[in-house]
Amino acid sequence: RMDPSALVEMMRKNGVDYAVILAELSPITTGIISNEHVAEFCKGRKELIPFANLNPYLSTRLGEELERCVHELGMKGIKLYPTYQQFYPNDRVLYPLYSKAQELRIPVMVHTGSSLFRGSRMKYGNPVLLDDVAVDFPELTLIQVHSGRGFWYDASFFLAQLHPRIYMEIAGLPPQNLLKYFPELEKNAEKILFGSDWPGVPGIGKNIKTIRSLPIKEETKKKILGENAAKILKF
């Protein structure tokens, strides 16, 4: 298990200034990393940005619990895991959470696309399900984690074009294939966020270098590698 100091040093060596650290409450698939653990792990480390997780099967007062995570634990956002926790992200049971996130002006990351973990169900990963959420919560920032990986790249790209506050995150995608997945990537330059998927995907520094070598505008590379995320996280 890596301690915070070692993680920050690893980030520095790979050219990473900030990292979002994710909680996860997925007992039937990948396991549990509690919100409290993530908050404590990030405490006193400006480079580490804690994001909560709430599982609609484990929490009945999602809005209130999210508010506690933000005000008491210092969480800066939340990630949802529909494929691992087996729920549709447009289910109305989640609307109190979205309403509270919109009120608190924090971003909501949502896993979209495929998953290899035993017990996960990919039908919950269709990014089109976020269209309802974006329409019903127009001031809410939504981040499509993995950008619809595997099945729904086109849908993910279109949603980011259609909705002002829907973004695409590219963790887990081979960066050398980005222009294959998204031939018109430059059209969404303001909406694409680099993500590492570490430790599941090693080689953060290598992936950054690969993005920097892509035949796209230097301005676009800077946006993907940090400027877009900085705006969302208010740096």
Q: d(Cα 207, Cα 189) in Å, to the nearest integer?
A: 18
Confidence of residue 5 (pLDDT cuts 50, 70, 90): very high
Confidence of residue 211 (pLDDT cuts 50, 70, 90): very high
- The predicted pLDDT at position 20 comes to 98
Structure tokens of 152?
């729904």
Every domain of the chain and the residues it spans: 4-232
Give percent above pLDDT 90 in the chain: 91
Q: d(Cα 80, Cα 89) in Å, to the nearest integer?
A: 8
Would the pTM of this model clear 0.85, i.e. be above it? yes
- Given a cut of 90, whether residue 2 has pLDDT beyond it is no
Structure tokens of 215?
């035949």
Task: Measure the CA angle with vertex 76, ends 133 and 89; round to 5°.
Answer: 25
Confidence of residue 183 (pLDDT cuts 50, 70, 90): very high
Q: Which residue in the block uniquely carries the two structure tokens 């909680």? A: 23
3-state SS string for 75-137: CCEEEECHHHHCCCCCCHHHHHHHHHHHHHCCCEEEEEECCCCCCCCHHHHCHHHHHHHHHHC
The crossing angle, in degrees rounded to 10, of helices 62-71 and 95-104 is 30
Q: d(Cα 135, Cα 61) in Å, to the nearest integer?
A: 23
pLDDT digits (tens, 9 = 90+) for 121-156: 999 999 999 999 999 999 999 999 999 999 999 999
In whole angstroms, what separates CA 62 from the centre of its chain? 19
- The predicted pLDDT at position 189 comes to 98
- Pick one of 3.40.50.300, 3.20.20.140, 3.30.930.10, 3.10.450.50 as the CATH number of 4-232: 3.20.20.140
The more confident residue out of 178 and 1 is 178
